[in-house]
Amino acid sequence: MAKIKEIAEKMNISVSTVYKALSDAEDVNPETKKKILKTAINMGYVAKRKGDNHKRICVFIDQPDDNHVQYFDYEVMMAFKRNAIHSGHEVSVMSLDYTLNQSKSFDELMDEYQFDGAVILGLSNFNPYFEQLKTTSHPVVILDNFLENQMVASVCCDNMKGMKLAIDHLVDLGHTRIGFINGQNDAYVCKERLGGYISSIALRGIVFDPELVCNGNFTEESAAPLVRNLVSMGVTAIMCCNDMLAIGAIKELKRMGLNVPRDISVVGFDDIKLSSYITPKLTTIHTDLSKMGEKLFIVLELLMKDNRLDMSLQPSYLVVRESTATVKSKAE
């Protein structure tokens, strides 16, 4: 597994730049930080143990090449690292790729590198390590997922509340035909948000139409065909499982010659930084990613001290920007 010097040599940059980037120093360009982070994950960066009084923690990331690392998971992980480093711990980053890890079991990885605890971001239920986590004896905290093991705790945003806030906002604007672009239908977070969508429209007296629900894969690119299908079914608003899908939806609606929000309103979920930079600025459900990273650290600290807990929720809030408006009447 890689050290800071090896990452620097591979990227042809200075050791100090890599060190500062992995410590989230403010004087390193954000794009450079992301490139260094992705390289560190793929190479398997393992921090050098300072002494017996320090804990060694690993941040494992599933599917490190997708947009989550660049936007959502990146912000959460850096907040986690700041808190862990401030407390004197060492933080390593590794891909949770079974092949890349030479088919070693999760417990073998934890034992080999003497990790005292781990945080896992973007964990897919199809990952071979998912089943192994059900029996691990190591302290682990997973983000936006859940499984039965007293050694594994979860930190999740309040998906149900977030979806209710989004749907209530759209219905209050007069929308009753609301499409939903979900992520991967097997993912815990997607099941939660779909459940929130279904229950929220029911509470507002809208009959659930399963044809208005479709599945992407969390990426901007996957939204285009789904948007075209929803538009053909006469939706006036599109709720998206995450912001990348919402950004993809807005771009596709523009390509179709439709105006957002005059013709169709769009709402995202997560409130990544890109949400306030696109045109129109995205109405979305805000989750404080810095607080979520901090909560991941607090929960892992408790687990490493033999305190047990199942799930901790991070509050969700509606942020109204420019991508939603009153439903367009037929006369218009």
Residue 332, in any domain of the structure: no
Q: Which among 16-25, 164-173, 307-316 has the top mean pLDDT?
A: 164-173
Report the relative pairing of strands 56-61 and 90-95 from DSSP bridges: parallel
| Position 331 in a domain | no
Residues 26 and 44 in one domain: yes
Residues 143 and 235 in one domain: no
pLDDT at 52: 54
- In one-letter notation, the amino acid at residue 25 is A
User: Which residue from 143, 148, 208, 199 is spatially nearest to 178, judged by alpha carbons?
Assistant: 208
Q: Do 43 and 61 touch, CB atoms closer than 8 A? A: no
Which is higher by pLDDT, 101 or 56?
56
The reply to whether 163 falls in a domain is yes
In angstroms, rounded to a whole number, what is the distance separating the alpha carbons of residues 141 and 216? 26
CB 277 within 8 A of CB 30: no
Res 64 pLDDT > 80: no
Q: Which residue has the tokens 């050791």?
A: 15
- For 205: left if phi > 0, alpha if psi spans -120 to 50, otherwise beta; the answer is left
**Cα-only R_g, the chain:** 21
Q: Write out the E strands in 122-248.
A: 140-143, 152-157, 178-182, 213-215, 237-240
Rounded to an integer, what distance in angstroms lies between the CA atom of residue 31 and that of residue 217? Answer: 24
How confident is the model over 110-167, as pLDDT tens digits? 999 999 999 999 888 888 999 999 999 999 999 999 999 999 999 999 999 999 999 9
Residue 229 lies in a domain: yes
Phi, psi of 310 (to 5 degrees): -90, -60
- CA dist 193 → 4, 184, 238 (Å): 39, 11, 14
Nearest-angstrom CA–CA distance, 2 and 68: 22
* % of the chain residues with pLDDT over 90: 63
pLDDT greater at residue 164 or residue 39: 164
Q: Are residues 8 and 130 in the same domain?
A: yes
Domain identity same for 173 and 266: yes
> In the block, which residue shows the tokens 């711990």?
89
What value does the mean pLDDT take over residues 202-227? Answer: 95
Highest mean pLDDT among 7-11, 204-208, 328-332: 204-208
**Cα gap 253→247, rounded to integer Å:** 10
Residue 95 bridge partners (DSSP): 61
Residue 250 in any domain: the answer is yes
- The residues near 73 (Cβ < 8 Å, ≥ 6 apart) are 61, 121, 122, 143
Task: Look at the chain and report how many structural domains it folds into.
Answer: 2
Please give the pLDDT value at position 114. 92
Residue type for position 169? H
Domain identity same for 232 and 308: no
- Whole-angstrom Cα distance, residue 265 to residue 323? 6
Looking at the fold, whether 12 and 152 belong to one and the same domain comes out as yes
Rounded CA gap, 24 and 30, in Å? Answer: 9
Sheet containing 311-314, strands listed edge to edge, beginning at the edge strand earlier in sequence:
90-95, 56-61, 117-121, 140-143, 152-157, 311-314
> Cβ(271)–Cβ(331) under 8 Å?
no
Q: What CATH code is carried by the domain that includes residue 186? A: 3.40.50.2300
Domain that holds residue 174: 159-287
pLDDT band at 68 (very low <50, low <70, confident <90, very high): very low
Q: Are residues 94 and 170 in the same domain?
A: no
Q: Both 35 and 112 in a single domain?
A: yes
- Fill in the amino acid letter for 75: E
> Looking at the DSSP assignment, which residues form a beta bridge with residue 313?
156
Q: Would you say the C-alpha torsion 56, 62, 65, 70 has a positive or negative sign?
A: negative
**Measured between alpha carbons, how far is 246 from 229 in angstroms, rounded to an integer?**
15
If asked whether residues 28 and 148 sit together in one domain, one would say yes
Flag whether 135 is in a domain. Answer: yes
Residue 252 lies in a domain: yes
- List, in order, residues 6 or more apart from 234 with CB less than 8 Å away: 177
Identify whether residues 221 and 302 lie together within a single domain. Answer: no
Task: Tell me the C-alpha distance between 77 and 66, whole Å.
Answer: 15
328: in domain: no
Q: Which of 28-42, 47-61, 67-81, 233-247 has the highest mean pLDDT?
A: 233-247
The pair of three-digit structure tokens given for residue 87, joined into one six-digit string: 């407390």
What's the pLDDT tens digit per position in 86-95?
889 999 988 8
Q: 3-class SS at 258?
A: coil
Q: Are residues 106 and 240 in the same domain?
A: no
The verdict on 294 and 253 lying in the same domain is no
**What's the pLDDT tens digit per position in 233-282?**
999 999 999 999 999 999 999 999 999 999 999 999 999 888 999 999 99
